[in-house]
């Protein structure tokens, strides 16, 4: 097999943030479905679902922004939602200790999104001279 053929057959890593944030939202939904319902857990899971799924929604809105200013605004909102998601994951881990281990990778992914969005905002502002 020639080098050209072997390089086209290699699997390239996906860096599609729209897909990654959608998969994260789905993982948050699946995680919350498994949490036992109670007067304490239900409001927390509701908030977690709202925050965790809105990361991707705001990223999609940013991707279709009408201006750089609108783009920065939407990415900043997505970044804020990552922080809120981390907060609600912490509260669930406290309220239902059996779910701490499962919450950790979700928390780490939310943290990665936070860092990615912070870099996007910083680089976009730098490119605009802001």
Residue 116: which of 30, 11, 18, 28 has the closest Cα? 18
The conformation of residue 35, written as its DSSP 8-state character, comes to S
- Residues 74 and 105: their CA atoms lie apart, in Å, by 25
Domain residue ranges of the chain, discontinuous segments joined by +: 17-128
Question: The domain 17-128: what is its CATH number?
Answer: 1.20.1440.60
pTM of the model: 0.85
pLDDT digits (tens, 9 = 90+) for 78-112: 999 999 999 999 999 999 999 999 999 999 999 99
């Amino acid at each position: 097999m020639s080098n050209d053929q072997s390089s086209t057959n290699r699997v390239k890593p996906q860096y599609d943030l729209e897909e990654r944030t959608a998969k994260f939202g789905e993982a948050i939904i699946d995680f919350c479905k498994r949490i036992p319902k109670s007067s304490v857990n239900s409001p927390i899971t509701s908030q977690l679902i709202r925050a965790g799924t809105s990361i991707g929604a705001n990223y999609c809105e940013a991707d279709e922004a009408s201006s750089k200013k609108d783009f920065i605004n939407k990415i900043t909102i997505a970044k804020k939602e990552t922080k809120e998601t981390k907060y609600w994951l912490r509260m669930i881990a406290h309220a239902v200790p059996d779910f701490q281990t499962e919450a950790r990778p979700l928390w780490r992914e939310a943290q990665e999104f936070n860092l990615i969005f912070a870099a996007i905002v910083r680089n976009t502002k730098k490119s605009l001279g802001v």
